[in-house]
Amino acid sequence: MQATAPPSSVTQLPTAALELAAKMFDFARNGNEELLPYLEAGLPPNLTNNRGDTLLMLAAYHGHASLVQKLLALPRRPDTNQLNGRGQSILAGAVFKGHNDVIPLLLAAGADPLSGQPSAEDSAKMFNRWEGENGLKEAFESAPGRGTGARDAPPAVEDREEVRRVPGAGPQDGTQAQ
């Protein structure tokens, strides 16, 4: 029996595989813990969407602390320092969105407040969250992952739907919109 070569591009993946991946990203975005068994069964923990966002990034950015905590407790846990396709860190996204319950989880798991553009530290300063009663200065300066550096995200995968779009064309058949 001859083995088939794996796809060399996301455009070669079957529609069912792309639909499954979209479902996983929706689970993360919505805080749905049905995502966890897929990861336990072997789904890559640093799977990225077409923007380079990981499942952890989406869960953190949307403020799902319970899911973030469970993702970080997996035996094959996601990388807290992986940047997305725009060079943004997971921690900076949580700071930007003001998810105070997610930030300490990421810090405890080794997120680097200095990584990304802008960094989480820069974001905290920009949005007046650096000093004061609820400031992040102390937590960021004592973070176990401080200065460890971010991992560059793999190149964002090609967006198959974007490739198919023709400006001014209908969504399905390429005909002009009326």
Per residue in 17-54, pLDDT (tens digit) is 889 999 999 999 999 999 999 999 999 999 998 888 99
Confidence of residue 120 (pLDDT cuts 50, 70, 90): very high
Query: How many domains, in total, are found in the chain?
Result: 1
Mean pLDDT for all residues in the chain: 86
Q: Would residue 11 count as lying in a domain? A: no
Which structural domain, as residue segments, surrounds residue 146? 16-150
Q: Which single residue is written with the structure tokens 């560059």?
A: 152
103, two tokens? 């930030």
Q: Would residue 55 count as lying in a domain? A: yes
151 DSSP β-pair partners: 82
> What is residue 151's predicted lDDT score, i.e. its pLDDT?
73
Q: Which single residue is written with the structure tokens 């083995």?
A: 3
Q: Would residue 7 count as lying in a domain? A: no
Determine the Cα–Cα distance for residues 156 and 101; give it in Å rounded to an integer.
28
Of the listed ranges 26-40, 98-112, 152-166, the least confidently predicted one is 152-166
68, two tokens? 């973030």
Determine the Cα–Cα distance for residues 75 and 65; give it in Å rounded to an integer.
18
Q: Would residue 112 count as lying in a domain? A: yes
Q: Would residue 109 count as lying in a domain? A: yes
Contact between 59 and 93 under an 8 Å Cβ cutoff? The reply is no
Q: Would residue 168 count as lying in a domain? A: no
Q: Would residue 111 count as lying in a domain? A: yes
The helix/strand/coil state of 80 is: coil
Determine the Cα–Cα distance for residues 110 and 149; give it in Å rounded to an integer.
10
Contact between 25 and 57 under an 8 Å Cβ cutoff? The reply is no
Determine the Cα–Cα distance for residues 19 and 14; give it in Å rounded to an integer.
9
Q: Would residue 119 count as lying in a domain? A: yes
The CATH number of whichever domain residue 22 belongs to comes to 1.25.40.20
